[in-house]
A and B are shown apart, each in its own frame.
Chain A
Amino acid sequence: MKKIILDSLGKSQHRGLNFRDMLYNNEARAFFFQIVTFVLVVGLFYTAIGNLFQNIEERGINTGFTFLKNRAGFDILPFLGNYVVDYTPESSNFSVFYVGLINTLVVAFVGIILSTLIGLFIGIARLSNNYLVAKLAGGYIELFRNVPILLQILFWYNLFINLFPHPKQSFAFFDIMFLNQRGLYLPKPIPEDGFLLVALSLLVGIIASYFVKQHYKKKHELTGIHTSTWPFSVALILGLPIIIFLVLGSPLQFDIAVLGKFNLRGGMNVVPEFLALTFALSVYTATYIAEAIRSGIEAVDKGQKEAAAAIGLTPTQSLKLIILPQALRVAIPPTINQYLNLTKNSSLATAIGYPELMSAFGGTVLNQVGQAVEILAMAMLVYLVISLFISLLLNYVNNKMAIQGR
């Protein structure tokens, strides 16, 4: 009997290897299929790489990463990346990579903040009991969500270029900010000696207020006495730097743009490419964030709010302790995913020539050097690292917010 069972399981140990047994043995089959897949995939790669080297040799394309040291030889639209790297056409191709990376991160950073603000606003407005406000927010979402992002980027860029006035007739805001065809002119901060100290004091203030908060949290847990910590935080984070700033005699000057003969001089120029790109990305991503926030708020059961009121929590306490933690658990993961999408979509700047990674490095350098494999691999690696970083963040948040079973 035992033998029959063993046979039927295909585990006939005493008969040795038998082809028929192997054919019907699950483990043998699994092994076989995995080997076949492995051989196929590796074979495919092997052939492709072999062809690659042959093609590269035939076409006389260089290999390796020495091109990174070569002179770039072209101008890049002046923006933050240029100033940080101090880029000139004499700089190397690697500095182009660096400039592109910085410009990508700047767009992502500003876009994430803006889209969160707009998304928060629209998401809450969507749930307003004011009919007009709710419908307007709904209309906003339906309009901007259903138009391809590339179309929006090109549209706003075209509109900014055509609609904004010549530098001569710039829109002026209190004579410190100017808006015209060449972009937005902001006052340029020029730090003087001692400004570093102010920045340091801000950091100290943030760290100190964290410890104060921890201290009173512990006290609350031990004694049940609640102390509101926000006055301490305001004093430490805002007060401390302001005092040091004043004590040192305002070590920060602003360079305000002045209207010259044909153009504005001085100040900090935010190019229209950046404005259009950030605006389009924020407006588009905000529709998704708004939906995430709406679904988060709607996911909290009505009974939760009622229960909070029943045990005597004030509306503020109920919002802070009961509603928000539950709403955020639903809303934050999709929102973080949208941050990743925004960062990836910033690569569409190629279409309007804003010098971010895929446009300056993956575009111009690629056309000049022709080493597509290396350049694209570097660009992809950057996006992989960013997305890995955001995944880690997401996992951390998910773990932190997971419902703790007791």
Chain B
Amino acid sequence: MPVFDQQETRKPPISQIGAVLWLKTNLFSSWINSILTFASLYLLYIMIPPLLNWMIFDASFSFGTINFFGFEIKFSEEMATNDNCGRVGACWPYIYEKLYMYTYGFYPRTETWRPNTVFALTGLLFVIVPLVKNYKYKNRVTLSLIILYPLISYVLIAGGFGLLTPVATDQWGGLLLTLIIASVGIIVSFPIGVLLALGRQSNLKVIKLFSTLFIEFIRAVPLITILFMASFVLPLFLESGNYFDKLLRALIGIALFQAAYFAEVVRGGLQAIPRGQYEAADAIGLSYFQKNVLIILPQALKISIPNIVGSSISLFKDTTLVLIIGLFDMLAMVNLTSNDPYWLGRETEGFVFVTMVMWAILYTMSRYSRKLELRFNTENKN
């Protein structure tokens, strides 16, 4: 009987395993792909090193003192000036010095704790809401938060009511103003948008006509014309003598604008609800109000949540437009701070800084919306 020796298995050739295989399949699978790979590498080579040099290696970081949300961080005794920085790389001490302006605008320096508290509360909200999700009083807690949170924030930021020193709206600015416009815009426009969507789907001809006209008109024109309308023409529509705050006018414009877009998003959700749901609700004798609040909207809104977040992202991007009508949001601070005679010619640093902040916020939001989309997309799961 022949005896076979168990031979050791040969290893696969080096080109079939590990990094080499990966490189071969992903970067050099054909000669066209190899050319593309080298072209991409060249592209990275001409873009990344100069950018890194400007932002990090040739940049100045350590002059002066930073005031970071009320904490003083001292870098060196040397004062941060434009000359200290030089012109080769970025001058980040300029951003440190203007960080207050970028965050709060002209908000009085002694009252910084108030917006800070609002920032903290907002952060806390993101912790609390998921926690109460499975709690018995979920609805009551959420509802009271929806009412309490804006109220507390408003009192803290605007002051007044004999509690805190009032801060006029023209002193609000920077990231604070950007966040205020975005959140007020979303909160106010959402219910209007839902009503408009229901109006457009309604059987009542007059209501349908007005809703459709409003939505289509707003969607056809750029936001800037609406903002101009709100800031120049809206005061003329009111009885003379009625003074209207500039920020409030901008907010009205933005809310009406966003409502039209929300309406279309919600309409998409409404159209996705099978007719049977409407008919069943009618059959058990629910009124129009009951039918929509109890049966249709909960389903329609759930479907449209990813698009609602998407639309909110657009709104967040659009808040930058208020600088054109003279409000000082974060982007407007770039020009404003670079007009400082001690810091002439530092716009680029400002733009890069604002870009980074905006990108971080918007990227997080878009990731979140994609996550929601995957969670709600229960169909077509292969």
Residues on A with C-beta less than 8 A from B318 are 148
Q: Is B240's CB under 8 angstroms from A154's CB?
A: no
Q: Which one of A176-184, A196-204, A383-391 is at the interface?
A: A383-391
Interface hits, A358-391 → B, CB 8 Å: 358, 362, 366, 372-373, 376, 379-380, 383-384, 387-388
- Which of A32-40, A269-277, A306-314 touches B? A32-40
Q: Which residues of A contact B14 (CB under 8 A)?
A: none
The 8 A CB mask of B187-206 against A (1 = contact, 0 = none) is 00000000000000001111
With a CB–CB cut-off of 8 A, which chain B residues contact A133?
Answer: 36-37, 40
Q: Chain B nearest CB: distance from A386 CB in Å?
A: 8
Alpha-carbon gap, A156 to B170, bound state (A): 29
B239 interface residue per 8 A CB criterion: yes
A348/B207 in contact, CB under 8 A = no
Q: How far is the CB of B371 from chain A (nearest CB, A)?
A: 15
Cβ-defined partner of B229 (8 Å) among A55, A142, A162, A376 = A376
- Determine if B320 is an interface residue (Cβ-Cβ < 8 Å): yes
Give the residue name and chain of the B residue nearest to A350 (CB). Answer: B324
> How near does chain B come to A388, taking the closest CB pair, in angstroms?
7
Query: Chain B contact residues (Cβ within 8 angstroms of A): what range?
Result: 35 or more
Q: In the complex, which of the residues A49, A148, A158, A351 contacts B317, with contact meaning CB atoms closer than 8 Å?
A: A148
Check if A130 sits within 8 Å of B36, measured CB to CB: yes
Whole-angstrom distance from the CB of B18 to the nearest CB of chain A?
Answer: 15
Cα–Cα, bound, A58→B334 (Å): 39
Instruction: Give the Cβ gap from A54 to chain B, nearest Cβ, in Å.
Output: 6
B206 touches A37 (CB 8 A): yes
Residue pair B36, A51 in contact (C-beta under 8 Å): no
User: A304 at interface (Cβ–Cβ under 8 A)?
Assistant: no
Instruction: State which of B26, B347, B358 has its C-beta within 8 Å of the C-beta of A130.
Output: B26
Pairwise interchain contact B220-A151, C-beta atoms closer than 8 A? no
Do residues A384 and B217 form an inter-chain contact, with CB atoms below 8 A?
A: yes
CA–CA, A373 and B358, complex, Å: 34
| B40 contact from A132, A145, A159, Cβ within 8 A | A132
CB of A404 closer than 8 Å to a CB of B: no
Bound complex: CA A346 to CA B143 (Å) = 41
Instruction: Encode contact with B along A120-162: 1 for CB under 8 Å, 0 otherwise.
Output: 0000000011111100100000110111111100110011001
Minimum Cβ distance to chain A for residue B61 (Å): 22
Complex Cα gap A372–B325 (Å): 14
B333 to chain A, nearest CB (A): 12
In chain B, positions 328-382 with a C-beta closer than 8 Å to chain A are 331, 334, 345, 347-348, 351, 354-355, 358-359, 362-363, 366
CA distance A132 to B203 in the complex (A): 54
Q: Is the CB of B206 within 8 A of A38?
A: yes
B295 within 8 A of A: no
| A153 CB, min distance to chain B CBs, angstroms | 10
Size bracket of the A interface: 35 or more
B233: chain A residues within 8 A (beta carbon): 52, 372-373, 376
Known: A130-B26, A130-B37, A148-B318. A388 touches B236 (CB 8 A): no
Please state if B33 and A376 are interface contacts (CB–CB under 8 Å): no
Contact at B221–A30, with CB atoms within 8 Å? no
Q: Smallest CB-CB separation from A40: which chain B residue?
A: B210
Q: Are A34 and B205 neighbours in the complex by a CB distance under 8 Å?
A: yes
A133 to B29, CA, bound (A): 13
Verify if B321 is at the interface (C-beta below 8 Å from A): yes
Chain B residues with CB under 8 Å of A351's CB are 323-324
A344 within 8 A of B: yes
- In the complex, whether B184 has a CB less than 8 A from a CB of chain A is no
Please measure, in the bound complex, the distance between the C-alpha atom of A383 and the C-alpha atom of B223, giving whole angstroms.
Answer: 11
Closest residue of chain B to A152 (Cβ to Cβ) is B355
A259→B206 CA distance, assembly (Å): 66
Q: B135 near A: Cβ within 8 Å?
A: no
In contact, A154 and B334 (Cβ under 8 angstroms): yes
- B167 adjacent to chain A (CB < 8 Å): no
Give chain A nearest CB distance to B86 CB in angstroms: 15
Q: Do residues B225 and A347 form an inter-chain contact, with CB atoms below 8 A?
A: yes
Task: Confirm or deny: B43 has a beta carbon within 8 angstroms of a beta carbon on chain A.
Answer: yes
From residue A370, how far is it (CB to closest CB) to chain B in Å?
9
Choose among B228, B237, B320 the residue that contacts A151 (Cβ–Cβ < 8 A). B320
Asked if residues B221 and A383 are in contact (CB atoms below 8 Å), the reply is: yes
* CB–CB B240/A158 < 8 A: no
Q: Are A154 and B331 touching (Cβ within 8 A)? A: yes
Asked if residues A146 and B359 are in contact (CB atoms below 8 Å), the reply is: yes
Given contacts A130-B37, A387-B220, contact A30 B240 (CB under 8 A): no
Let me know if B27 is at the binding interface, CB within 8 A: yes
Given contacts A132-B41, A148-B317, contact A158 B36 (CB under 8 A): no
Asked if B204 contacts A33 (CB within 8 A), the reply is: yes
Is B206's CB under 8 angstroms from A154's CB? no
Q: A146-B366, A148-B320, A162-B348 are in contact. Are A129 and B29 (CB under 8 A)?
A: yes
A149 vs B222: C-alpha distance in the bound complex, in angstroms? 13
Which chain A residues border B224 with CB–CB below 8 Å?
347-348, 350, 358
Query: Cβ of A362: which chain B residues have Cβ within 8 Å of it?
Result: 225, 228
Contact of B225 among A48, A56, A129, A380 (CB under 8 A): A380
Contact A154 B358 (CB under 8 A): no
- Nearest residue (CB) in A for B40 is A132
Look across to chain B and name the residue whose beta carbon is closest to the beta carbon of A145. B366
Taken together as a complex, chains A and B put the C-alpha atoms of A342 and B217 apart, in Å, by 17
- State in angstroms the CA–CA spacing of A35 and B366 once bound together: 43
Q: Do residues A142 and B363 form an inter-chain contact, with CB atoms below 8 A?
A: yes
A41 within 8 A of B: yes
- Judging by beta carbons under 8 Å apart, are B206 and A56 in contact? no
Q: Which A residue's beta carbon lies closest to that of B317? A: A148
Jot down 30 A-B pairs with beta carbons below 8 A, ordered by A. A30-B203, A30-B204, A52-B236, A128-B36, A130-B37, A132-B27, A132-B37, A147-B359, A148-B320, A148-B331, A148-B362, A151-B331, A155-B351, A158-B347, A159-B348, A344-B221, A344-B222, A347-B222, A348-B324, A358-B224, A362-B225, A362-B228, A366-B232, A372-B236, A373-B236, A376-B225, A376-B228, A380-B229, A383-B222, A384-B217
Not counting A30-B203, A372-B228, A388-B220, a sample of 18 additional A-B residue pairs whose C-beta atoms are within 8 angstroms of each other reads: A34-B207, A37-B207, A51-B240, A128-B36, A129-B29, A130-B37, A147-B355, A147-B358, A147-B362, A148-B318, A148-B319, A151-B354, A151-B355, A344-B221, A348-B224, A358-B222, A380-B221, A387-B221
List the 4 closest A-B pairs by CB distance, nearest first: A131-B26, A387-B220, A372-B232, A34-B206
Residues of chain A touching chain B, judged by Cβ–Cβ distance below 8 Å, are 30, 33-35, 37-38, 41, 48-49, 51-52, 54-56, 58, 128-133, 136, 142-143, 145-151, 154-155, 158-159, 162, 344-345, 347-348, 350-351, 358, 362, 366, 372-373, 376, 379-380, 383-384, 387-388
